[in-house]
Structure 1
Amino acid sequence: MRLTSSSVRGASLSCSTLAFLLLLHCCHITSILGQKSDSALSVVENTEGAEREGVDEEEAMVDEGDSEVVHPTEEWQTLKPGQAVPAGSHVRLNLQTGQREVRLGEEQLKYWTQEHRGKEETQSPFSPDELKQALKKIKEDLNSESKDTDQQDSVASKFRPLEELKRDMAQLDLLVETDVQIMRRLLEQLNSSNLTTEQRLSILLELEYMVHQVDNAQTLCSMGGLQLILQGLNSSDFRLQESSAFVLGSALASNPAVQVKAVENGALQMLLTMLATTPPLRVKKKVLFAVASLLRHFPYAQSHFLSHGGLQVLSELFRADGGGVLRTRIVTMLYDMIAEKELISQAGLDPMLDGSHEERVRQYSKVSLQGELLEKGWCSLVPQLLESTEHDYREKALRALLAMAPVCLEQYRSDSALLGSLLSLRDQYQEMVQSEMILGEENGYFAEIVELIDALQVKIK
């Protein structure tokens, strides 16, 4: 095929036109890219100081006048105009929405491994504001403690040391005495023959207050004070007898060391002698208190009490007492002795107990209290206390009768007065129990007395 000159010229013109149009299009694109766009992106340094290599052409850029930096995550996020992203992030244009999106780059994704994420989760969940408030509170607490310390120092500065006070008192002829010094001074005064009865009573009152402490009572014995107290029992003045017996009973209470010293110095015989004579009622009350303190938890003294006719002395005192005050104290003392021995005997069945307890069981086995009570007529004496109008007296009598039942049961069954008293008392107290229940007291005091009566009646039947 042959081309004419006109055809060649037309083809040349078409190529020139096409080349010109392409050139214009490239210039237009260049001018567009050269213009500053509000949404143009530029690379910025990573805000965390990390530098990445091998990122794509779409790696993080930021507006030159940026005011906000977006922190990418593993998921794509939409970028708003004017927002900046750290270097190393991946940015793309979403063709469906026409919006730019950003997420972490590959190196950043490697950094956020599961292990690192676990470490981040264990970090403190508190916000910076909360941490600031906590720090502020710590500082306030420290300031408060400092103020408290300063206040304590200020208060302490207002008082003087004890040694300094003692020196000043010595200069003023004042003496700070210990209990031992006070007791020594009191015993020296008590041993003086120049004191009046009132002064002796005052000294005995001070001693009674001090010997309630176990150490002071033992110190009293070591200073020879026990002999002075026993001499007071032989005084012709009933007031001195009463006060001396009171001091002795207080010193003996729950104090084995003093109990031993008292028995060795003949205190038990002196007390029984006083009960057998006819001193006033108030003296006998204090003497009974001293006897009970001496016998409690002391089987050796109990054996001596029985061998020296103690139950006979108490029976005569019981018969002579019409008011019931001494009777109640005597019956209570006998009940305590019976219950004490019973508890020791039951505990003695335990094979794990030590040798000292075995010795106590052996000593209590020598105290034949139950047989002595039967022999001395106490099985018929104790029921007489039920005739009292005092509920407390009746309760103590019922407890003693139950404790004595193993040796007195036959006499109980033949004692018509006792059986009649039990029936009458049960009816009387049953009505009181009904009154207690109306008031909302289901297990009151009178219900307890009814239970004691029922228990005794069951034993007698």
Structure 2
Amino acid sequence: MQLMSSRARGAALLLLLLHFCHSASSTQGHKSASALAVMETTGGGDEEEEVTLEEDEGDLEVVQPTEEWQTLQPGQAVPAGSHVRLNLQTGQREVRLGEEQLKYWTQEHRETEESRSSFSPTELKRAMKKIKEDMNPASKDQQKTFRPMEELKRDMAKLDLMVETDVQIMRRLLESFNSSESTTEQKLSVLMELEYLVHQVDNAQTLCWMGGLQLLLEGLNSSDFRLQQSCAFVLGSAVSSNPLVQVKAVESGALQTLLTMLATAQPLPVTKKVLFAVASLLRNFPYAQRHFLSHGGLQVLSELFRADRGGVLRTRIVTMLYDMISEKELISQTGLGLDAAHEERLRQYSAVSLQGELREKGWCSLVPQLLESTEHDYREKALRALLAMAPVCLDQYRSDGSLLGSLLSLREQYQEMVQSEMIVGEENGYFGEIVELINALQVKIK
């Protein structure tokens, strides 16, 4: 038997479609519009049709599709979104659930719908609307979430909210601090808030322009040591890594005030905060370092170092000196000819004779005393400072029998600790770093 040509197959398919439309029309009687709209799709094998339900009056016998293909009788309707195909082998129309229906028509829906054999067009439209809503929950959420702007403004006005900027907050805090009705506790609370705010560079500069710097300097002379401590803390935070505030503080006489406080007996908490403020003011600021040296800063620190037996202040002082030496060496090693700003910094640091002042003020013999501490952190900082001071202190180191004996004793002690670290699997640990510092210092001294 010869195969049917493509033109003959197309004619046969057209006849079958016409037969389908005629059957659907005759089933509905006087109804002029068919309940099904058929769209032919291309492809091999069975031909699939996309079926949509049109508006009509009266009840229709609706077939409930399943996941499997089932034969569709003439005159029967199917829900929108179903897959319908024409089986060319049997000549029958077949139907099954579409992809979206498989998600929607759960077992619960099936049990409800199977109890009924027909639906009215109104009910079918309502079901289609329900499917669309279930498939697009975001539209419902947006209707619930978004509100008119005018309504939001009215609600905000009812809450009587006032959002303050940092500038407004600082102005209010300064007014509260200067108020004659403010108690000491209230002033301490103000200073605590200011300390938090001035960590931002802009806020610290704004505080100076508002007169806050003068307020802090006056607070350093207060008779209440708690106000002195808090004012020194705020001042140190404001000048830290903030060149503009550092310049303003030096010009306002802050350095002289702080050195005077260090030279007089103060409670330990106050002295610690004052040292913090001095260190912050001097860091990366050669202009202030030169003023520090010219106003006898090293002499003040040496007296404070000798008076401290606990080691807390000694460690802070030695760390500050080490930072000053290291930053000058770092600038010098960067090289010449980078830019005008770098050249200016080199010129300013060259005017700071820190190393020579340290030797003249006896720091070559003072710093080794910190090695007598039992705290590992104190010893580490002392060793780093001794290495930084070695270029001008080697003669004193070599003649200091106490220093040489301490280095030998400490090396043996930390070698044992390094062995303990290696046993527990900690290679290149903290104690190993201390041994390296001792070895480096011994090499320089030999």
Corresponding residue for 2:173?
A: 186
Corresponding residue for 1:363?
A: 348
Q: In the alignment, is residue 297 of structure 1 matched against residue 284 of structure 2?
A: yes
TM-score by length of 1: 0.67
Give the alignment partner of residue 378 of structure 2, picking from 393, 397, 405. 393
Distance (Å, rounded) in 2 between the aligned partners of 1:145 and 1:317: 77
Give the alignment partner of residue 416 of structure 2, picking from 426, 431, 437. 431
Q: In the alignment, is residue 41 of structure 1 matched against residue 2 of structure 2?
A: yes
Distance (Å, rounded) in 1 between the aligned partners of 2:419 and 2:301: 38
Q: Tell me if the contact between 1:272 and 1:310 (Cα under 8 Å) persists in the aligned partners.
A: yes
Amino acid at match of 1:453: I
Amino acid at match of 2:187: R
CA change 1:43–1:322 in 2 (3 A) is: closer
Corresponding residue for 1:67?
A: none
Give the alignment partner of residue 419 of structure 1, picking from 398, 404, 413. 404
Corresponding residue for 2:195?
A: 208
Q: In the alignment, is residue 280 of structure 1 matched against residue 267 of structure 2?
A: yes
Distance (Å, rounded) in 2 between the aligned partners of 1:330 and 1:387: 16
Give the alignment partner of residue 317 of structure 2, picking from 317, 320, 330. 330
Q: In the alignment, is residue 167 of structure 1 matched against residue 135 of structure 2?
A: no
> Structure 1 residue 217: deviation in Å?
1.0
Worse-superposed segment, 358-367 or 157-166: 157-166
Corresponding residue for 1:196?
A: 183
Corresponding residue for 1:313?
A: 300
Distance (Å, rounded) in 2 between the aligned partners of 1:379 and 1:150: 78
Distance (Å, rounded) in 1 between the aligned partners of 2:226 and 2:4: 112
CA change 1:425–1:133 in 2 (3 A) is: farther
Q: In the alignment, is residue 384 of structure 1 matched against residue 345 of structure 2?
A: no
Worse-superposed segment, 174-183 or 411-420: 174-183
Secondary structure of residue in 1 paired with 2:319: helix
Q: In the alignment, is residue 261 of structure 1 matched against residue 251 of structure 2?
A: no
| Gaps in structure 1 of 5+ consecutive residues | 1-39, 50-70, 72-131
Corresponding residue for 2:82?
A: none
> Structure 1 residue 253: deviation in Å?
1.1
Distance (Å, rounded) in 2 between the aligned partners of 1:288 and 1:48: 100
CA change 1:203–1:47 in 2 (3 A) is: farther
Corresponding residue for 1:9?
A: none
CA change 1:389–1:218 in 2 (3 A) is: same
* CA RMSD, 1 decimal: 2.7
> Structure 1 residue 169: deviation in Å?
3.8
Corresponding residue for 2:329?
A: 342
Q: Tell me if the contact between 1:249 and 1:290 (Cα under 8 Å) persists in the aligned partners.
A: yes
Corresponding residue for 1:445?
A: 430
Secondary structure of residue in 2 paired with 1:389: coil
How far does the alpha carbon of each residue in 1:291-340 deviate from its partner, in whole angstroms, 9 at most, with x for none?
01100111110111011110000000000000000000000000000000
How far does the alpha carbon of each residue in 1:146-180 deviate from its partner, in whole angstroms, 9 at most, with x for none?
5446546644559998755552244xxx5332211
Q: Percent identity?
A: 75
How far does the alpha carbon of each residue in 1:198-245 deviate from its partner, in whole angstroms, 9 at most, with x for none?
221111111112111111111111111111111000111111111110
CA change 1:159–1:272 in 2 (3 A) is: farther
Secondary structure of residue in 2 paired with 1:330: helix
How far does the alpha carbon of each residue in 1:10-61 deviate from its partner, in whole angstroms, 9 at most, with x for none?
xxxxxxxxxxxxxxxxxxxxxxxxxxxxxx3366246999xxxxxxxxxxxx
Corresponding residue for 2:61?
A: none
Secondary structure of residue in 1 paired with 2:403: helix
Distance (Å, rounded) in 1 between the aligned partners of 2:437 and 2:134: 63
Distance (Å, rounded) in 1 between the aligned partners of 2:394 and 2:191: 46
Distance (Å, rounded) in 2 between the aligned partners of 1:384 and 1:145: 79
| Gaps in structure 2 of 5+ consecutive residues | 11-43, 45-97, 104-131
Amino acid at match of 1:448: E
Secondary structure of residue in 1 paired with 2:271: helix
CA change 1:403–1:154 in 2 (3 A) is: farther
> Structure 1 residue 344: deviation in Å?
0.6
Q: Of the two, which has the highest radius of gyration?
A: 1
Corresponding residue for 2:65?
A: none
Amino acid at match of 2:373: S
TM-score by length of 2: 0.69
Corresponding residue for 1:11?
A: none
Secondary structure of residue in 1 paired with 2:280: helix
Secondary structure of residue in 2 paired with 1:446: helix
Distance (Å, rounded) in 2 between the aligned partners of 1:378 and 1:403: 12
